[in-house]
Structure 1
Amino acid sequence: MWHNDLQMNFMKKLLLFFGMIIAAGCSSAQNKAIPTNIPSYHILTTDSVYVTPTNLKKDKPVLIIYFSPDCSHCQHLMYELKPKMKDFKNTQVIMITFVQQIQAIRNFVRDFDLKKYPNFTVGTEGYSMVVQRFYDVHTTPFTALYDKNKKLVKSWEKAPTVDDLTGEVKKL
């Protein structure tokens, strides 16, 4: 009986030890530094035009939102953003998805009336996953804000609050 208690105690300590190793590995993987430059994306817009960072206007901040048209968090972010669109009028907003169904992306653009905002560009990177790998995106929306010199100001791995986002944009 006493021998079983020792074995059980040893097993608990061993499990705790391995659990701590796994947790440390996971936390260091999630703390990966975001590169400070804009990724070299190549997206197909809903107008069937390819867009790259070379299309960005100089001396204007850039907000990149990596999203999925059917993501409820992405849709919620857009619903909250809609009344504050004027706060982003001097910011180039690039919305990039991995979804290849152009109709799904067009529906997203239609549902949020994004054609009204010429500073919004929405498109798919398709299977290239360049942007997804660049930011190491695991959940959508992923958001990154760059200043007018195209240097990273702040990024959010999960949906930011609209107040936080607008506050950061207003500082630029």
Structure 2
Amino acid sequence: MLRFQRNIFLILSLLMMAAMADAQLPAPAKSIPDFQLYQFNGQPFVRNNLPKNKLLFFIFFDVTCDHCQHAFREINAHYNAMKGVAMYLISLDSEAGMANFITRFAPNLVGKPNITLLRDVQNQFIQHFAPRKYPSMFLYNAKRQLLLYDDEPEHFQQFLQAIHSNTHA
């Protein structure tokens, strides 16, 4: 009986620790917060620079991340479905590293008018948007409210569905 009680106690303790760890993760930003990121020309890019009346897609990535490569291959393959969406590709990495990554894994995005590469030199994206891991993808509506967040490249089709339903409604 003592062994059974000890096992139950251990199981309950583990479940409580797991629940507490899960509860400590901040939720992704439900609306677009104030931020300051940097364009490749060194100019700041802030919330007020975002276009009005457009869907806004943010992806936070790292150039060494395998899952990020997969996500960008998906975005590259489905760029035509995202042409009407303002897309922001955000990283802590160098300009050269980011440019090389995009050229290698998402060449369809290079030079497109709806694509903006932004550097997070002050670690603001993590603080304000609360991504859980790389890659973190956020889709906001024109009112800057979160429609969809995911950090699994395998779920990218959900973004395409959300984009389709919010542009053809």
TM-score relative to the length of structure 1: 0.83
> Does 1:46 pair with 2:47?
no
Please state how far the C-alpha of 1:142 moved relative to its aligned partner: 0.6
Question: Partner residue of 2:87?
Answer: 93
Q: 1:160 to 1:41 in 2, by over 3 A?
A: farther
Bigger mean CA offset, 105-114 vs 71-80: 105-114
> Does 1:69 pair with 2:50?
no
Question: Partner residue of 1:80?
Answer: 74
Bigger mean CA offset, 110-119 vs 144-153: 110-119
Question: Partner residue of 2:114?
Answer: 119
CA contact (8 A) 2:28 2:131 kept: no
Please state how far the C-alpha of 1:9 moved relative to its aligned partner: 4.5
Q: Find the residue that maps to 2:12 and give its secondary structure.
A: helix
In 1, Cα distance between equivalents of 2:164 and 2:130: 27
> Does 1:109 pair with 2:95?
no
Please state how far the C-alpha of 1:146 moved relative to its aligned partner: 0.7
Please state how far the C-alpha of 1:107 moved relative to its aligned partner: 1.0
Please state how far the C-alpha of 1:150 moved relative to its aligned partner: 1.4
If you compute each CA radius of gyration, which structure gives the higher value, 1 or 2? 1
The letter for the 2-side match of 1:162 is F
> Does 1:29 pair with 2:24?
yes
Gaps of 5+ in 2: none
The letter for the 2-side match of 1:25 is M
The sequence identity of aligned pairs, in percent, is 19
Q: Find the residue that maps to 2:11 and give its secondary structure.
A: helix
Gaps of 5+ in 1: none
Residues 106-146 of structure 1: CA deviation (Å, up to 9, x unaligned): 212322233331111112112x2221122332311111111
Root mean square deviation, CA, Å: 2.1
Residues 138-165 of structure 1: CA deviation (Å, up to 9, x unaligned): 3111111111121111111333533221
In 2, Cα distance between equivalents of 1:34 and 1:41: 14
Bigger mean CA offset, 104-113 vs 68-77: 104-113
The letter for the 1-side match of 2:85 is T
Aligned residues between the structures? 164
Task: Name segments (4+ residues, structure 1) moved above 4 Å.
Answer: none
TM-score relative to the length of structure 2: 0.84
CA contact (8 A) 1:64 1:94 kept: yes
